[in-house]
Amino acid sequence: MSRWIGIVLLTGVMCAQGAGQPPYERVRAGRLQDDHPALIPFNGVTGWRVETNDAEARFERSDDVLLFGDGVAKLAYRATGPQPRITLLPPAPVAVTGAFDAVTCWIYGNNHSYAADPGTPPVSVTLHFTDSAGVRFSVPLARVHFKEWFLCHRRLEPGQIARVAGGAALTAIDVTNGRNTEERVIFFNSLAVFTERFEPLAFAPRPQRGVRVFPACGPGANTGAAVLPFPNTPLTIVPRDSAPSVTRVGRGESGRYYLVREGEDGRLEFRLPAQLGAWDELAVRWADGGAWTSVGLGGGLYFAPSTPTGALARAESETVTVTTDGKSVTYAGRLTQGGRSVEAQLRFHLSGKSLVMDIQAGQGEIGEVRFGATRGFVNPRLATLPYYTYGYADGLARPTVIVSGSPDAPLFYLAHIDWTQSNASTPFAENVRFDGSLASNGGTRYAPKTDGRRNPCFERFVLTLSPRFDDVLPNIPNPPSPWKGVTGTRVWRAHGASDRARDATYWRAVHRWGMTQLVVTDHETGWRDGNESFTFRTDPAPKKGGDQGQYDYARIMQDELGFVYGPYNNFTDFAPVNGFWHIDLISRTRENQLQHAWERCYAPKPARAVEFCERLAPIIEKKFGFSTAYCDVHTAVTPWSRVDYDARVPGAGTFAAVFYAYGEIMLLQKAAWDGPVYSEGNNHFPYCGLTDGNYAQDQNYRIHENPWLVDFDLRCLHPLCCNFGMGNLDMFYPGKSAPADPDVAKDRFLAATVAFGHSGFLLYGRDGELRSYYMLQALASRYTQAAAETIRYADAGGALHETSAALANGAYTRSQVVTRYADGTVTAANGHPEARMAVTVADQPLDLPPNGYWGRSGDGAVRVFSGSVNGRRADLAVAPAYTYIDGRGHFTRFAEGAAAGVAICRALTNGLAEILMHKCDEGGFPYAFSDALALDATNGVLGTAEVRAARGLSYVRPVKGAFSYHVRRGAAPPAAVLTCACEIVKPGERVLIQGAAEHAVTIPADARPGARLWFEREGAWIDFTVEEPPPPPPPAAAAQQGLPLPAWYARGMALRGQAERELDGATGAQLYASSSTCGGHTKPRGLFMHPPYKGGTGYTFARYSLTLPSEALQIRCAVGKKDGSDVGDGLLFKIAVEDAEGQRHEIARRQVAAHAWYTLEGSLAPWAGQTVSLLLITDAGEKDDSSGDWGAWAELELTGFP
């Protein structure tokens, strides 16, 4: 522990002497003054003092970097102990003579949030004030996880605003978490305090929404004369029924209404609830006379809390009239709760196998609408859909299918929110309830806007039950992409632009390898040289060559190389250094803070974003003539994560306003480029068709290790657009979870790409580029252009099951997928990490290894195989444009060709072909070659090349310096002049070659394994391969160190002295799946918990249901206090077991009062063979101080005893 007080060095004494320049964007825009007068300009630091704890620091004037004026304040610092704190003290408290409600300061940061540097941890900056009564309060200004200049903004809390009505004084600035032991530097400039002026805002009318189920629901900014092409059906997201049916309204003896569907495949009944606002009695059954299943337990309309610490509650009473028109049933009336009452209407009607609930209620009194839980399903279990996501860090919290019944007679239930019609702020998912019951979905929440008011409630909820899985999948009501002929037939890559000459050299080399059918877009570095803004601009970065450099580069990419090429852009991130900067362009949170986005950026208002897109995209296109673009982020974030709560904005507080703005942005983009628009994906399902393609990632689901349930993607998204790859490798393997073997990582990525029916992503490195391009380009060109006709999953015995059966019997969890497309294309992919896939597909027996895949077009012209040949992995792709072979280091012979490495035969014009080889000297193909020419990398002719033919294949012999070879290719294989019964030979072996005569040859005794040998007899050639040792057996599956905890768990909490209950976010309690960093060490795939702190303290817990085996186990995990939190009094971690009688037994506990990881373990031996509940509990510290209680759990597993 150390404490040091020093006087800041005066200007000119040991201060930095630099040649800094203000950001060029601000200079170009003529914005060389801050938006508000500076309380502290920070052009110098005369008289400032520094106090430190566990740290050393200097605070001095500098011109290393500049912003406003000729100098800035520079803080150099390093840690000398575990809890570093630096306090910057002005010569005297800095008086603020009037009221204010916001503070800003420009800070020049030193680290990237997306590429954490353990040597430069992000520091936190806190401002300390005293009010007019001399009472101190603090304002947390910023966490510095960015580089270069950023305007840090913080609005005071309402109580603080009241306290400074008579003025205040800034007394100190704290900088904490600077745990770096080597010196680091940040800079300050222009700290301002001011009162925010919320002047009225005006917005241009946007086109109307394609379908409005609720005419009374405000349309946001969508009030123009034109109409958006989405949604494109009045049924919006309602699933389509696979069988003809008729529906009717029935009424029982009790007067309760029923909705009945009579179809060719069976009878479906929904029993409607007795109340409008409470749906506990809502039930469903399949088949006449079957048992009823409750699907609305706890569901209904919940009034918002009437006080900050109040709870959501359903109506205490209601007055309702129920009517029917013979096709639907309508409940209308008044709901009353706690002295408040609202008018509400709920219309039920059937569409196929779906109960559609159209809900209207109140003028802002409703806080939540909940689906409710289920009870009565037989043997219920959950099946998660990749890509149908709400974007939560807890990746399985999303709309989830409940599978029930026996394998022979399953039922599938799925509840949907209509995202096109909701007036809510956010949806939420709840799959395992606090009491252990299952729910398919959660509901929607209505949050207050900045004026404190909520929006009226409008919702369309859809409940679907069917014995056929496809029937429960939602419709995506968007028009299909008009650019599938481009996006599906080309392989995609986003390129991080560097030096343009180097970029051009790289892409010319890629093209030279025959990879010509590409879509290439720049990444954000096309617009920036360092960390300046990268959006909302039309001028490329100066060091990238400016306008002329971008124009010339576009001509190379498009005109010379023939690629589809375009820029990066996005309208979701906005940097304050940008020339367009204005604070009123930025979205507000519900607390009226500026909404943060990517590092050094705020989130622009979606209503403004669409206006800027309409304005800027045509300018960019006119200047540079692009043919596509990558519109980043829009489909990576969810609409509900970018809601603008600024009450001045039409559609404020609704995620629909974001969805329609972002959807229109995609349409404006493709109109500007006259070509496809791509986005980042991860939450792209509602935008498919509006986007023409997305990174096909779902990182929260972790597709590389969870079941490849492909149906939602293939049935709902595939017909609308062409999503590519599985994202990129880092997206497919989040958190650095890729296999250690890079070949295995690539193979699994490509197998998944085939299984999910995506177009290709161009992997990195020459090996990755060639394999990902040639193995997928031709095959994807077929299956992306056709609908999936049948989807089958293989069981352990090789039998194929359609999806409904596979979900019922569990075969889908093997991730072994066979898909037939409408054009006759068939694919098979083995996603099982260990088992082979032995099946018969299209009359062809297949035996694919883990991560193997196979495909064939309907006409047989395209054939792809990646699997085992003689026990070793090899690849083959045959298409009209090329044949690709990769023996992966071992000479491998197919009927279509042979090579030890990569050999490519590309079809050219006029009967010519080009031969390219990578990591091998020869490749044979089943064509008669003649007139062979060796070419260098520039296509210059080096001379002729020898051609040898043997065993029905032609080979071009290597020429020194040759990059490729042009040959005249005959239609038939070369004649076999020489033959031999054996192809694989041993050193010293004597073999007989048959020509016009018989010839005996002896294989050299010193021939190395795998060597290729050629013998000439009678003017002809024959080849042999020296035998290699048999391949080693596949590595044994690693001994499982421990069993992971189940994926599903219930969330709970308790305030001190009160009963346990469901997690209530209003208390500040949090629990979600997340990686965490403690003491600078990150552990993936754990839980984050925060105990409640609003309205009282207490604990948060996760409850798992465990059926323990008969052998004794223990639970072992790591716990810690997450970096960036206040230490306070620490955290108490506990593990408890609740037995079948409800008795709770604590088996482990640990107090943690430092940012570090600790081991926690407890014995489960007393409950071996029993079904119990396991509780992971995070409690406040011993002083009940819950501030900064960032609790981290990781490495959760059940293990045997040592």
Which amino acid appears at position 812 of this protein? Answer: Y
Task: For residues 751 and 840, state if they share a domain.
Answer: yes
Residue 450 lies in a domain: yes
The full 3-state SS of 141-206, as one line of letters, equals EEEECCEEEEEEEEECCHHHHHHCCCCEEEEEEEEECCCCCCCEEEEEEEEEEECCCCCCCCCCCC
| DSSP β-bridge partners for residue 457 | 361
Q: What is the pLDDT of residue 1038?
A: 57
Distance, CA of 356 to CA of 245 (rounded, Å) = 16
Count of the separate structural domains present in the chain:
6
832, two tokens: 């099982």
pLDDT digits 0-9 by tens, 165-176: 999 999 999 999
Residue 1162 belongs to some domain of the structure:
yes
Q: If we measure between CA atoms, which residue out of 1026, 1025, 1073 comes closest to residue 1045?
A: 1073
Alpha-helical segments (H) within 366-514: 484-487, 500-512
Selection from 836, 805, 137, 691 nearest residue 411 by Cα: 805
CA-CA distance, 382 to 394, in Å (whole number)?
A: 15
My answer on whether 80 and 51 are in the same domain is: yes
User: Per residue in 353-388, pLDDT tens?
Assistant: 999 999 999 999 999 999 999 999 999 999 999 999
**Residue 302 pLDDT grade (very low, low, confident, very high; cuts 50, 70, 90):** very high
- Asked if 231 contacts 464 with a C-beta cutoff of 8 angstroms, the reply is no
Q: How many CB atoms neighbour CB 369 within 10 A? A: 27
Cα of 116 vs its chain's centroid, Å: 19
Do 1016 and 1122 belong together in one domain?
no
- Rg over alpha carbons for the chain, rounded to the nearest Å, is 33
C-beta of residue 277 within 8 angstroms of C-beta of residue 367: no
Distance, in Å, from the CA atom of 238 to the CA atom of 622, rounded to the nearest integer, reads: 41
Q: Please report, for the domain that includes residue 108, its CATH number.
A: 2.60.120.260
252 and 174 in a common domain: no
- In contact, 12 and 60? CB cutoff 8 Å: no
Among candidate residues 976, 996, 1024, the one where a domain is terminated: 976
Query: Which position has the higher pLDDT, 310 or 7?
Result: 310
Instruction: Tell me, yes or no, whether 492 lies in a domain.
Output: no
- Candidates 1186, 1133, 1126, 1129; CA nearest to 1159 is 1133
> Is residue 624 predicted with pLDDT exceeding 80?
yes
136-144 and 123-131 as β-strands: parallel, antiparallel, unpaired? antiparallel
Number of C-beta neighbours around residue 675 at 10 A:
21
CA distances from 485 to 489, 785, 1048, 1110 (A): 6, 7, 41, 58
Region 471-483 average pLDDT: 98
| Listed residues 1034, 1053, 1073: the one ending a domain | 1034
Same domain, 450 and 351: yes
What is the per-residue pLDDT for 512? 98
Judgement on whether residues 417 and 284 belong to the same structural domain of the protein: yes
Answer yes or no: do 971 and 991 share one domain.
no
Which pLDDT band, with edges at 50, 70 and 90, does 4 fall under? very low
1178: Cβ–Cβ under 8 A, 6 or more apart, which residues?
1089, 1090, 1091, 1099, 1100, 1101, 1131, 1132, 1133, 1189, 1191, 1193
Averaged pLDDT, 859-870: 97
- Structural domain contains residue 237: no
DSSP line for 547-594 = HHHHHHHHIIIIIIT--EEE-EE-SS-B-TTSTT--GGGB-B-TTSPB
Please write the tens of the pLDDT for every residue from 1009-1056. 999 999 999 999 999 999 999 998 877 665 556 788 888 888 999 999
Is the torsion defined by CA of 702, 704, 705, 709 positive or negative? Answer: positive
Side chain identity at residue 907, one-letter code = A
Residue 1008 buriedness (CB in 10 A; 0-12 / 13-18 / 19+):
exposed
Same domain, 95 and 167: yes
**267, 319: one domain:** yes
Instruction: Judge whether 674 lies within some domain.
Output: no
- Which segments of 641-732 are extended strands (E)? 677-679, 693-694
CA distances from 83 to 184, 320, 1004 (A): 16, 61, 72
Residue 114 has pLDDT above 90, yes or no: no
Other beta carbons less than 10 A from residue 822's beta carbon: 13
Average pLDDT, the chain: 95
pLDDT at position 223 is 98
Tokens describing residue 285? 């059954």
Hey, which residues does 147 pair with through a beta bridge?
110
Rounded Cα gap, residues 878 and 777, in angstroms: 11
Would you place residue 17 in the very low, low, confident or very high pLDDT band (cuts 50, 70, 90)? very low
Q: How far apart are CA 69 and CA 79, in angstroms?
A: 31
pLDDT above 50: residue 18: no
Residues 44 and 164 in one domain: yes
Model confidence at 492, pLDDT cuts 50, 70, 90, reads very high
Answer yes or no: is pLDDT of 8 > 50: no
How many angstroms separate the CA atoms of 423 and 658, rounded?
11
* 518 located within any domain: no
**Residue 329 belongs to domain spanning:** 245-472
Is residue 1020 located within the same domain as residue 1138? Answer: no
β-bridge mates for residue 1070, sequence order: 1090
Give residue 736's pLDDT: 86
Which CATH number is 366's domain given?
Answer: 2.70.98
The tokens for 804 are 């409904």
Q: Any idea what the CATH number is for the domain that residue 1183 is in? A: 2.60.120.200
Beta carbons of 1076 and 1086 less than 8 angstroms apart: yes
Is residue 6 over pLDDT 70?
A: no
Query: pLDDT by residue (tens digit) across 1115-1155?
Result: 999 999 998 888 888 999 999 999 989 999 999 999 999 99
The answer to whether residue 101 is domain-embedded is: yes
1020 and 1115 housed in the same domain: no
pLDDT at res. 909 = 96
Residue 1084 has pLDDT above 90, yes or no: no
Q: State the pLDDT at residue 1.
A: 33
**Res 732 pLDDT > 60:** yes
Out of 167, 194, 221, pick the residue that ends a domain.
194
Q: What is the pLDDT of residue 1043?
A: 83
Cα–Cα–Cα angle for 944, 946, 950, rounded to 5 degrees? 155
Q: What is the pLDDT of residues 214-267, one digit of tens each?
A: 999 999 999 999 999 999 999 999 999 999 999 999 998 888 999 999 999 999
Residue 515 maps to a domain: no
pLDDT given at position 217: 98
859, 878 Cβ separation under 8 angstroms: no
Q: Are 894 and 933 in contact (CB under 8 A)?
A: no
Q: Which of these, 36, 127, 139, 55, lies nearest to 90 by C-alpha position? A: 127
